[in-house]
Amino acid sequence: MPTLFRKVKDVKNFIRDIKNSAGNAHSIGLVPTMGYLHEGHMELIKKSKLQNEITVVSIYVNPLQFGPEEDYQRYPRDLERDLAMCEEAGVDVVFAPTDEEMYPEKPKVRIEVEGISDVLEGAFRPGHFSGVALVVLKLLNIVHPDRAYFGEKDFQQLKLIQRLVKDLSYPVEIVPVATVRDKDGLALSSRNTYLKENERESALSIYRSFLIAQKLFKAGNTNANDLKQAIREYISKHPHVKKIDYVEIVDEDFNIKEGEVSQGDRILVAVWIGNTRLIDNWRLSYEEV
Amino acid sequence: MPTLFRKVKDVKNFIRDIKNSAGNAHSIGLVPTMGYLHEGHMELIKKSKLQNEITVVSIYVNPLQFGPEEDYQRYPRDLERDLAMCEEAGVDVVFAPTDEEMYPEKPKVRIEVEGISDVLEGAFRPGHFSGVALVVLKLLNIVHPDRAYFGEKDFQQLKLIQRLVKDLSYPVEIVPVATVRDKDGLALSSRNTYLKENERESALSIYRSFLIAQKLFKAGNTNANDLKQAIREYISKHPHVKKIDYVEIVDEDFNIKEGEVSQGDRILVAVWIGNTRLIDNWRLSYEEV
């Protein structure tokens, strides 16, 4: 079994002892999660285990990154199942703090990254990225990892963290890990458990719309509006699609593209399937899928 | 001579080597400064040397914490003199980075602390505290001190840093150090060099107004308005006093006091003497001065 810590103090002491242990310094990999682990998380863990001597998985459903109308209460939780999966994956440490441990007082700090916090996910979920930034910086300060692992599935979050770490000179390497998809193309997400079977069928339209856009792009259509339009049209003709929050294309610096797109640009979408809000993204490329 | 580092990479390597050196872990004290050192800084250094094996002084005039109309260009700089003072004080390491080292790109992160960043100094100097927060977090991430030393002279800054460190779980102890005053009571500040001799005479009104307020308080007048009024009246009758930006009283959690004040509350003022903006503060107490 991985060693389970519930208190900030305890995991800090454990890390300090490792770092101070005589001989070679151990490298530490951190995989921050909100639990209810799936194969996407397992990829993060696998990569951390390849690159580090110690892998720490944090499991914490961070209330600060949920809006008042969002699914904080409903978000799936199952620590026992998560622990079993961590054991299976060979995780060394699980840090699963209580709210009281993480926020003994309501935090007063707000952290924004210009051009990231305020657009797309940030615009639809005000305060979300400040909550993400706060909890990730806390985890970095508590665990002091050499590397931290983030899925490309939450692409805007990844960009936010990369920029935070750069601007604040954090001594950590942020390692992105490619999105894991089910056989049918649905990007893995703990929120997929919300989907009823017929909703899940509609949710596949997201992945398929990417393939359509990708095909157009490879055929020479590099017009951002054409690609976005094709995606919107394809997705919206499916049942249970209640609303498309956005379909946008960004470049590697997260500038929103108008006009011509190019290889490496990324399509980002947020779609409501019934009462479930899904996000996904796709990197435009001339290569085969 | 202290070891002088100009590059982030070099000071990071130095610290890493110290932390990894076999045997007992060395504790590191950081004294962040903008240089042009004076006896106030020397007190910070003295305290750091008492509490740590290694004392690092950073010297960096951080452009991000100056407004466009402020004295960034004019701010006094003298690295050689600073190095000599650091040697005299037994400082181990001076970290004096270039702008290129600190900000290879314009940072996009903004950091606010609710109730601190936006009032008093924060209201008169928009963006100031985000710049302070950014540079201090960078320095903490680069130097990884066990303790960091801040003067009470910049009281609001001290409160900001304390809150940042708490909310972000930074593994550092913030150590406040009492304001150092000249024999005549003027709080030491690198900006005092701007003052002409007759302006300096007027600047003493700030300290003397604190003594007046303190006397009223000890005599039983605990009305915030009375104390603030007495301070304003006393200061403003002096020549060269161009403007009083604010006179306020805050409690230990930095709430602005209206009505009754009590022991431990702090008077904060910002005053323009000619073209020089001075800040100072005073803790209300029943004890003798």
pLDDT at residue B93 is higher than 60: yes
Count chain A–chain B contacts defined by CB atoms under 8 A. Answer: 78
Give the per-residue pLDDT at A24: 59
- Least confident range from A13-27, A46-60, A176-190: namely A13-27
Same structural domain for residues B111 and B9? yes
> Distance between CA atoms of B73 and B60, rounded to whole angstroms?
13
- Return the DSSP state at B274: T
Helix segments in B150-276, DSSP class H: 155-167, 197-218, 224-236
pLDDT at residue A218 is higher than 70: yes
| pLDDT tens string B97-138 | 999 999 999 999 999 999 999 999 999 999 999 999 999 999
Same structural domain for residues B139 and B236? no
Determine which one of A26, A41, A128, A240 is catalytic. A41
pLDDT at residue A288 is higher than 70: no
pLDDT (average), residues B207-230: 97
Give the per-residue pLDDT at A216: 97
pLDDT (average), residues B246-260: 96
> Distance between CA atoms of B62 and B101, rounded to whole angstroms?
12
B88 CA: distance to closest CA in chain A (Å): 31
The answer as to whether B183 is a domain residue is no
| pLDDT tens string A149-192 | 999 999 999 999 999 999 999 999 999 999 999 999 999 999 99
How far apart, in Å, do the first and last CA atoms of chain A sit? 38
B93 sits in the region (left: phi over 0; alpha: psi -120 to 50; else beta) called beta
Give the per-residue pLDDT at B21: 75
Residue B41: active-site member:
yes
**A142 to chain B: which residues are within 8 Å by CB?**
169, 171
Same structural domain for residues B163 and B211? no
Residues 108-127, chain B, touching A (beta carbon < 8 A): 108-116
> Distance between CA atoms of A233 and A213, rounded to whole angstroms?
11
pLDDT band at residue B26 under the 50/70/90 scheme: confident
SS3 B95: strand
Same structural domain for residues B144 and B234? no
The answer as to whether A185 is a domain residue is no
Q: Are A132 and A160 in contact (CB under 8 A)?
A: yes
> Distance between CA atoms of B258 and A250, rounded to whole angstroms?
49
> Distance between CA atoms of B17 and A76, rounded to whole angstroms?
44
pLDDT at residue B281 is higher than 70: yes
**A95 to chain B: which residues are within 8 Å by CB?**
none
Question: Residue B231 is which amino acid?
Answer: I
- The domain boundary, picked from B177, B212, B246, lies at B177
Give the per-residue pLDDT at B20: 78
Give the mean pLDDT of chain A. Answer: 96
pLDDT at residue B155 is higher than 90: yes
Same structural domain for residues A20 and A145? yes
Q: Are B241 and B207 in contact (CB under 8 A)?
A: no
pLDDT band at residue A289 under the 50/70/90 scheme: low
Give the per-residue pLDDT at B25: 66
- Does the annotation list A156 as a binding residue? no
ipTM of the complex, rounded to two decimals: 0.94
Helix axes A197-218, A224-236, angle to 10 degrees: 160
List residues forming the annotated binding site of B: 34-41, 65, 151-154, 157, 180, 188-191
Is A168's CB within 8 Å of B20's CB? no
What's the domain count of chain B?
A: 2
Same structural domain for residues B69 and B156? yes
The answer as to whether B83 is a domain residue is yes
A282 CA: distance to closest CA in chain B (Å): 25
pLDDT at residue A50 is higher than 80: yes
The candidate with the shortest Cα–Cα distance to B57, out of B31, B27, B87, is B31
Q: What is the CATH number of the domain that holds B200?
A: 3.30.1300.10
Same structural domain for residues A58 and A85? yes
Nearest chain B residue to A111 by CA distance is B111
Q: What percentage of chain A has pLDDT greater than the value 70?
A: 98
- The domain boundary, picked from A150, A177, A204, lies at A177
Same structural domain for residues B153 and B132? yes
The answer to whether B26 faces chain A, any CB pair under 8 Å, is: no
A288 CA: distance to closest CA in chain B (Å): 35
- The domain boundary, picked from B177, B212, B241, lies at B177
> Distance between CA atoms of B133 and B161, rounded to whole angstroms?
7
Same structural domain for residues A202 and A128? no
Same structural domain for residues A136 and A267? no
Q: What is the CATH number of the domain that holds B80?
A: 3.40.50.620
The candidate with the shortest Cα–Cα distance to A159, out of B103, B165, B109, is B109
The candidate with the shortest Cα–Cα distance to A269, out of A231, A239, A238, is A231
pLDDT at residue B22 is higher than 60: no
The answer as to whether B30 is a domain residue is yes
pLDDT at residue A23 is higher than 80: no
pLDDT at residue A144 is higher than 70: yes
Same structural domain for residues A41 and A146? yes
Classify residue A4 by burial, with Cβ atoms within 10 Å: 0-12, 13-18, 19+.
middle
The answer as to whether A59 is a domain residue is yes
The answer as to whether A289 is a domain residue is no
> Distance between CA atoms of A284 and A270, rounded to whole angstroms?
17
Same structural domain for residues A129 and A256? no
pLDDT at residue A101 is higher than 80: yes
pLDDT at residue B289 is higher than 80: no
Q: What are phi and psi of A29, to 5 degrees?
A: -110, 135
**B109 to chain A: which residues are within 8 Å by CB?**
111-114, 163-164, 167-168
Question: Domain residues for B59?
Answer: 3-177
> Distance between CA atoms of A21 and A17, rounded to whole angstroms?
6
pLDDT band at residue B24 under the 50/70/90 scheme: low
pLDDT at residue A22 is higher than 60: no
Is B168's CB within 8 Å of A134's CB? yes
The answer as to whether B288 is a domain residue is no
pLDDT band at residue A26 under the 50/70/90 scheme: confident
pLDDT at residue B288 is higher than 90: no
Q: Are A270 and A246 in contact (CB under 8 A)?
A: yes
pLDDT (average), residues A44-66: 98
What residues contact A233, with CB distance under 8 A and at least 6 apart?
none
The answer as to whether B159 is a domain residue is yes
| pLDDT tens string B28-59 | 999 999 999 999 999 999 999 999 999 999 99
pLDDT at residue A116 is higher than 90: yes
The candidate with the shortest Cα–Cα distance to A203, out of A279, A152, A267, A266, is A279
